[in-house]
Amino acid sequence: MYARIAGTGSFLPKKILTNADLEKLVDTSDEWIRSRTGIEQRHIVEDGETTTDLAEHASRNAMAAAGVGPGDIDLICVGTTTPDFVFPNVGTLLQSRLGIHGCPAFSLEAACTSFMYALSVADKFVRLGESKCALVVGAETLTRIVDWKDRGTCVLFADGAGAVILQPAEEPGIIATHLHADGKYKDLLLYPDGVSSGFKLVREGKAGVQMKGNEVYKVAVNTLGQLVMETLNANHVRKDQVDWLIPHQANIRIIEAIAKRLEMPMERVIVTINTQGNTSAASVPLALDTGIRDGRIRRGQLLLLEAFGGGFTWGSALIRY
Ligand code: UT7
């Protein structure tokens, strides 16, 4: 038994923050942001708009695309690092919004790799016969935890959500997922505050995402390069057999480096970073849905999804769509 993608959906908040807007906030320039990251604009939440709001819209779009209703969903698995509350988890908040009762619903947290982890977990539920219709979401309001005085990070991050419906199939579907983590890199990309540390920095007004950008960049390029080769080799797939690379959208230069490693022209890479920025856990399902809805990604094609984030965590999925 395998899991196949029955439908996808996504959602971006209405409010747009341009590079010109950021020039008024910090010492930066449109030219620097475009040339160093590829970002031209990003969507950000309004006051009161939450991760669950974004997840709900994306989920409804995915359910409509798959032709399933609330009564069909028997598992909800959300990847996010920016939940509405400490608890209930975003999975159960989403469950309530969708009018679903009783099925397991949870969120898991692996920074920008959260969706890849969520997809891998849900894939196992479906393969084991424990889910016949799983809702898998990557949703994030990362701009809520950004330090708007830090030009090294505030120009990068953005908000959004993407969702997929998984159903059982005789043939893949999801051929394989590959997940990794190495906590020795914990100090390179982090938000060092939270419940059990007493929200000390939040109370002092000093909280925010911290990143040693250049060091993260180097590890990301090396690690993702190894990850995509591991994924192809483990599944006996050649580079030229992959139809679409659907990468985490952290930096256009990282995306180009991985495409080069795969000897793929950029025409076969789904890029959304220019208009969406880095939406963390939402970026891969947003890019997947973008490519499917605009007709580039077609049924039967071979997709390689990958992501990298704080922890560090990293993961991939090889999917016959
Ligand atoms: O999604 C999770 C994973 N995250 C990533 O993979 C992000 C990885 N890192 C990156 O994408 C890049 O490292 C950044 C986009 C964050 C930074 O680009 P960079 O080419 O590595 O720049 P840098 O950090 O080496 O900084 C170069 C210069 C510095 O100035 P000096 O010291 O050379 O005078 C920075 O202070 O650019 C400066 N700088 C900026 N200048 C204008 C840093 N941020 C900005 C800014 N505007 N927003």
28-52 pLDDT tens trace:
999 999 999 999 999 999 999 999 9
State if residue 251 touches ligand 1 by the CB under 6 angstroms criterion.
Answer: yes
**Among the atoms of ligand 1, which is closest to the Cα of residue 213?**
13
- Band of the pLDDT at 238, cuts 50, 70, 90? very high
Position 180, amino acid: H
CB of 157 sitting under 6 A from ligand 1: no
Q: Whose CA is nearest to atom 18 of ligand 1?
A: 36
The stretch 126-130 carries a mean pLDDT of 98
pLDDT mean over 98-104 = 98
- Residue 215 CA to ligand 1 centre (angstroms): 10
Dihedral (C-alpha) 319, 9, 109, 72: value to the nearest 10 degrees? -90
pLDDT at residue 294, rounded to an integer: 98
Using DSSP's 3-state secondary structure scheme, residue 75 falls into strand
Q: Ligand 1: does its nearest atom lie under 6 Å from the Cβ of 37?
A: yes
Q: How far apart (Å, rounded) are the C-alpha atoms in residues 290 and 288?
A: 5
> What is the residue with the minimal CA distance to atom 30 of ligand 1?
152
Give catalytic residue positions: 112, 248, 278
pLDDT at 163: 99
Dist. CA 36 → ligand 1 center (Å): 7
Write the single-letter amino acid at 146. V
Pocket test for ligand 1, best of 29, 189, 214, 252 (most atoms within 8 A of CB): 214
Give 135-182 pLDDT, tens digit per residue.
999 999 999 999 999 999 999 999 999 999 999 999 999 999 999 999
- Ligand 1 probe mutation, 217, 254, 308, 314, most atoms within 8 A of CB: 217
Integer angstrom CA distances of residue 27 from 148, 188, 252: 11, 23, 22
CA 42 and chain centroid, separation: 15
For ligand 1, whether the C-beta of 303 sits within 6 Å is no
Cβ of 250 less than 6 Å from ligand 1? yes
| CA dist., res. 306 & res. 242, Å (int) | 13
CB-ligand 1 contact for 60 (6 Å cutoff): no
User: What pLDDT sits at residue 5?
Assistant: 98
Nearest CA to ligand 1 atom 16: 213
* Average pLDDT across the chain, whole number: 98
pLDDT at 188: 98
Quick check: 140 and 162 in contact, CB under 8 A? no
Distance CA 23, CA 5 (A): 41
Six-digit token string for 185: 């890199």
* 88: preceding bond cis by omega (within 30 degrees): yes
Q: In what order do the strands lie in the sheet with 159-169?
A: 2-11, 159-169, 134-141, 75-79, 105-108
What span, in angstroms and rounded, lies between the C-alpha atoms of 158 and 178? 26
**Whole-structure pTM value:** 0.98
pLDDT recorded at residue 236: 98
Check if 210 has its Cβ closer than 6 Å to any atom of ligand 1. Answer: no
